Amino acid sequence: MKKISVLLLATFILIGCANNNQANDKSSKNGLVWHTNVEKAIEIGKKENKPVLVQFSGSDWCKWCIKLNNEVLDTKGFANFAKDNLVLVNLDFPHAPQTDFVKNYNRMQMNKYGVQGFPTVLLLDKTGKLVFQTGYQPGGPVAYIQHIKAAYGIK
């Protein structure tokens, strides 16, 4: 009976953690869904046959992160490309408060992929294998989309 109680408790904790992270998925002003869980995004990528773009950002303090968002990721041109071609993840490191769960998860992913600075953008294939690492690129959404297509071999 004790083993069943421990198993049930562990199950509820895991479900709560999963729901907590899924609740943080956000739709951007251009209608894109930005996931907050890399593993979940990879599963979606497998189902939809799409690669995964993971952005590590300091959204409310990092000058280059803000520039990348304003000039590329928040544009209609990028949204039109991304909705059909990518599964998106945003792992944010803001000065604004975050839960310990989110902070720890994001830091774990940062360490896993060896991210050293912001913004860092990882391009993963649909299985989660790192294809390319990049960051801010000048030239707006058209140039950035070409940069992504070249990395993935998309025509």
Task: Identify the structural domains of the chain with CATH numbers, from first to last.
Answer: 25-152 (3.40.30.10)
pLDDT at residue 21 in the model: 46
Give the mean model confidence (pLDDT) for residues 132-141. Answer: 96
How do residues 14-54 score in pLDDT, each as one tens digit?
A: 444 444 444 457 665 679 999 999 999 999 999 999 999 99
The predicted-structure confidence for 60-105, as pLDDT tens digits, reads as follows: 999 999 999 999 999 999 999 999 999 999 999 999 999 999 999 9
Rg (CA), the chain: 17
Is residue 5 exposed (0-12), middle (13-18) or buried (19+ Cβ within 10 Å)? exposed
| pLDDT number for residue 12 | 38
CA distance from start to end of the chain: 58
pLDDT at 30: 77
pLDDT at position 6: 38
CB 123 within 8 A of CB 148: yes
pTM above 0.85, yes or no: no
Structure tokens at 41: 């995004």
